[in-house]
Amino acid sequence: MLDINLLRKDLDAVVAKLERRKSPQPFLDVAAFTALETERKQIQVRTEELQAKRNSLSKQIGQLKAKGQDVAPVMAEVAGLGDELKAAAERLEQVQAALNATLMGLPNLPQDEVPVGRDETGNVEQRRWSPAGPGTDAAPLPFTPRDHVDLGVPLGLDFDTAAKLSGSRFAFLRGPVARLHRALAQFMLDVQTQQHGYTECYTPYIVNQEVLEGTGQLPKFKDDMFWVSRGGDETAPAQYLISTSEISLTNSVREQILDAAQLPIKLTAHSPCFRSEAGSAGRDTRGMIRQHQFDKVEMVQITTPEQSDAALQEMVGHAERILQLLQLPYRVVLLCTGDMGFGAARTYDLEVWLPAQNTYREISSCSNCEAFQARRMQARFRNAAGKPELVHTLNGSGLAVGRTLVAVLENHQQPDGSIAIPEALRPYLGGQAVLRA
């Protein structure tokens, strides 16, 4: 959530930064916001006047009583002021709620260095890597590559059974491909914890509404979430399946004041992720690229404002390391203003090469949210002056397990359909060097 004082002090500057996000519709109704702010000020000024008058009249009542004079008219006037103050307080609460709802619908402001663009065509490539070395493109396979579906089905990738169980965009894994999926997740966790200093966590998969508000999934993206109920109890508060463990990891510091010495906090977790993908009908319907349920190893950092830019670069490197160890060609792109996520101030995507598609596809997204989430969560630390200050929050995929499985299948396929296992992954498969049906 943005700091409302930014809007109060320099509304034009905030609107200009929001417009850099290139949304078809304005994010902020300036006239409506200005009207609410004007009314808020008027109510607060009137409230102060009424309170001052009531205090004056209360003193007058004491003086009249001391003189034995009639206080009934003055007491009636005080009662009337009380009624007006109550009405003002109720209206102020309504105005404040409307202002808060406006703020909850506003995305984060992009950092000045973020390129301006309407969609992914405005993203700026930063670098490439392949097993041949930094700056190199993926070497073409010496045969016509198969896609991950054709490769995966003989290895146990089963979409038909999943469709019978749950409908489209689910996968049922068995045998070799299930082992590969598990091995990838364990490998990623070990790299992030043992090499990069993250603390492994296991989090709930179901969270409360205010938790999703804290990281920005609600209220804007409610239709992209899966909702759950407790045995049909309509009186129970709304709960949701997590779309990423970023939600639970980041909210682990909500409503806390941390010691500066605790920062940065580095957390990681492997979890399933559930997304209804309401706005993606017809996209990536083949295979495992876009699923309603998928697994991900997530990275989260909680830092001071001074640390967050460096932490973002570090996290990108942590995600890159996984791809390098798996010998998967990739590129890093800086997202433009129109392609960034709702809560991000700056985002880098890692895109892995998929030979069968002859293109790069997103496999990790690393974002600095600055104080946007922290303000919603009221997550703070004590700064050098001993005063509470909002932390900065960062998140990134380290990596999406299903998409990594896709990349391993396609990049390490052999002419007979078997899969050469990258050396770094072999210990997680009992030393197995080749995956065969």
Annotated binding-site residue numbers: 244-246, 275-277, 298, 362-365, 395, 397
Concerning whether 243 is annotated as a catalytic residue, the answer is no
Q: Is the peptide bond before 264 cis (omega within 30 degrees of 0)?
A: yes
Catalytic residue among 362, 382, 389, 418: 362
Q: Is the peptide bond before 219 cis (omega within 30 degrees of 0)?
A: yes
Torsion angle, alpha carbons of 353, 321, 408, 131, to 10:
60
How far is Cα 426 from Cα 282, in angstroms, rounded to an integer? 36
C-alpha to C-alpha distances, 393 to 179, 253, 366, 420, nearest whole angstrom: 33, 10, 11, 38
Q: Which residues are annotated as a binding site for ATP?
A: 275-277, 362-365
For 216, residues 6+ apart whose C-beta sits below 8 A from its C-beta are: 342, 343, 369, 372, 373, 376
End-to-end CA distance of the chain: 50
Catalytic residue among 21, 375, 376, 403: 403
Concerning whether 403 is annotated as a catalytic residue, the answer is yes
Q: Name the one residue in this structure whose structure tokens are 């001074």.
A: 306
Residue length, the chain? Answer: 437
Maximum CA extent, the chain? 108
How far is Cα 376 from Cα 166, in angstroms, rounded to an integer? 34
Concerning whether 275 is annotated as a catalytic residue, the answer is yes
Concerning whether 234 is annotated as a catalytic residue, the answer is no
Concerning whether 91 is annotated as a catalytic residue, the answer is no
Catalytic residue among 243, 248, 365, 367: 365
User: Taking the CA of residue 91 as centre, how many other CA atoms within 13 Å lie in the half-sphere pointing to its CB?
Assistant: 16
Q: What are phi and psi of 206, to 5 degrees?
A: -120, 130
How far is Cα 279 from Cα 273, in angstroms, rounded to an integer? 17
Catalytic residue among 91, 182, 290, 382: 290
C-alpha to C-alpha distances, 213 to 81, 336, 373, 374, 423, nearest whole angstrom: 38, 24, 9, 11, 42
Catalytic residue among 275, 375, 376, 380: 275
Q: What one-letter code names the amino acid at 351? A: E
Q: Which residues are annotated as a binding site for L-serine?
A: 244-246, 275, 298, 395, 397
Question: Mind telling me the catalytic residues?
Answer: 275, 290, 362, 365, 403
